[in-house]
Structure 1
Amino acid sequence: MNRRSALKNLSLVLGTTAIPDWAYQWNQQSIPTYQGPNTELLGDIVNAIIPETDSPGAKSIGAHLYIERMVKDCMGIEEQQAFQKGIQQINVLAKKNFQKDFGKLATKDQLSILTGLQNSTVAEDSQFFKRLKGLTLASYLSSEYFLTKHRNYTMAPGFFHGCVPVQ
């Protein structure tokens, strides 16, 4: 086994487990305010990945804000720039293919762009979309809405009854 790739994979695993305190059972009010240059575009993209149905979509619960904060807090400068470049690339593709911004496209057109990125033969594009989709799912599944409404999450799963007669 190649020692460099093993160390790289180990650092990726260890790096993803060290997330900040605010990232557990988060909601829009608990995220420290930070808005990057592509906040609205990122909101439209995560809304295309997890759209609104009978439950709130990713944009409604603020997944795009969570993702931006995770990128800012947990990625290096080069990774942040590559992530922002990938988000802008989605808008460039939308303008090139449909002559509109990504947020103004019909749902099927948005999905065609995202599917094209996912199935791209260019490794950089498919890796970017894989990371974006993973962050979107992680943000939605760790949100206060999902944990309390769909997982019956309680802060302390058991109760201590100290004054109970011993039998």
Structure 2
Amino acid sequence: MERRSAIKNVLAIFGGAMTMSTLAVLEQGCQPVKDNETVGFGEESIRLLTETGDIILPDTEGVPGAGACEVGNIIVKMLNDCYSQADQEEVLSFISYVRDKEQMMDLTRSEREQLIGKIDAEVYGETKNTPSFSAKGYKLIKELTVFGYFSSEIGLTKALDYHMIPGRFDGCIDYHEGDKAQA
């Protein structure tokens, strides 16, 4: 056998093996996940999520809060695209608790803040009360509020000290009390 034909045969074998495994991975990635079906979030749910997010991250000293970036839409998008149906149902369970039992949207802003503060204290164990609602649903909402806000243009540019990359790198920057975090 000639050297040239041996190299062709080896490349054909390796190329075929690589192509078959690559195709198998691609085929596996194209199959929909049955557990990740969308659960319905209506306009009222989005409004309640936005209001809850605005209480979690309110406006402060000229910096808009989570309500300004309409964090409810971000939360619903993330839940529908990235979370399981069980997680979506946990969030919906919490939403129905604050909407139906606590009548959150009928309360004043001050009363809403007190309600969310009480819920937060129950979920994170600051009180001895056992939550009568979905603690996991509230935790998901809180995590997605923080993620959605600091991923939005408002969160990056107004709440953080945003510098577009590529830019100059300074390895040693003086920190002064009151400076914003770097983004």
TM-score above 0.5, yes or no: yes
Shift of 1:108: 2.4
- Runs of at least 5 residues in structure 1 that lack an aligned partner in the other structure: 1-34, 96-101, 160-167
Deviation at 1:55, TM superposition (A): 1.8
Q: Give the counterpart letter for 1:39 in structure 2.
A: I
* Inter-partner Cα distance in structure 2 for 1:64 and 1:106: 19
What one-letter code is carried by the residue in structure 1 that aligns with 2:162?
N
The gaps in structure 2 that reach 5 residues or longer are 1-39, 123-129, 170-183
Q: CA deviation at 1:79?
A: 1.4
Partner of 2:121: 119
More moved, 102-111 vs 68-77: 102-111
| SS of the residue 2:134 aligns to | helix
TM-score, normalisation: structure 1: 0.61
Question: What SS is found at the alignment partner of 2:64?
Answer: coil
**Counterpart-to-counterpart distance in 2, 1:153 and 1:123:** 44
What is aligned with 2:162? Answer: 152
Matched residue type, 1:125:
S
- The total of aligned residue pairs comes to 119
CA displacement at 1:43 relative to structure 2: 1.5
Question: What amino acid maps onto 1:111 in structure 2?
Answer: E
Contact 1:42 1:64 in 2 (8 A): yes
Q: Deviations over 1:117-158 (max 9, x none)?
A: 223323863332222111111111121122223222313234
2:144 pairs, out of 128, 135, 144, with 135
- Contact in 1 for aligned 2:57/2:65 (Cα 8 Å): yes
Q: Displacement, 1:65?
A: 1.0
Partner Cα separation in structure 2 for residue 91 and residue 135 of structure 1: 19
Give the letter aligned to residue 64 of structure 1: G
Aligned mates of 1:93, 1:112 — CA distance in 2: 15
Matched, 1:46 2:53: yes
Do 1:118 and 1:125's aligned partners in 2 also have CA atoms closer than 8 Å? no
CA distance in structure 1 between the aligned counterparts of 2:135 and 2:85, rounded to whole angstroms: 20
2:46 and 2:155 map into 1 onto residues whose CA distance is 22
Deviation readout 1:91-118 (Å, 9 max, x if unpaired) = 12323xxxxxx23422221122212222
**Equivalents in 2 of 1:59, 1:114: separation in Å?**
15
SS of structure 1 residue aligned to 2:68:
helix
Aligned equivalent of 2:31: none
Among candidates 73, 80, 83, match of residue 81 of structure 2: 73
- Higher-Rg member (1/2): 2
Q: Does 1:36 align with 2:38?
A: no
Displaced runs of 4+ in structure 1, greater than 6 A?
none
Assess if the C-alpha contact under 8 Å between 1:43 and 1:63 holds in 2.
yes
Query: TM-score with structure 2 length normalisation?
Result: 0.56
